[in-house]
């Protein structure tokens, strides 16, 4: 996956992207990061574009400040 950054409150999220079809936004579980979506991205190939951020506090977005939780993650995903 290639990565890019998206500005959010408090800094930037790192986001992985792979594919060239319609966009599918993928949010990982609490202890994961965007790379957990690599097998899916490989399986679907170019039929869709997988867009998978490292959620606030995880992976390359680990230094973003809180608050953490579903409502903050939802706001960040809207920004993506």
Instruction: Print the SS3 string covering 19-80.
Output: ECCCEEECCCCCCCCHHHHHHHHHHHHHHCEEEEECCCCCHHHCCCCCCCCHHHHHHHHHHC
pLDDT of residue 40: 97
pLDDT tens-place string over residues 24-41: 999 999 899 999 999 999
Whether 1 contacts 34, CB under 8 Å = yes
23 has a pLDDT exceeding 90: yes
70 φ/ψ angles, rounded to the nearest 5 degrees? -60, -40
């Amino acid at each position: 996956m290639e990565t890019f950054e998206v500005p959010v409150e408090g800094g930037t999220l790192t986001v992985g992207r792979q594919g060239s079809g319609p966009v599918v936004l993928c949010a990982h579980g609490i202890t994961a990061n965007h790379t957990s979506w690599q097998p899916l991205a490989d399986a679907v190939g170019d039929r869709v574009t997988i867009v998978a951020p490292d959620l606030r506090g995880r992976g390359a977005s680990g230094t973003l400040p809180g608050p953490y939780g579903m409502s903050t993650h939802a706001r960040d995903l809207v920004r993506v």
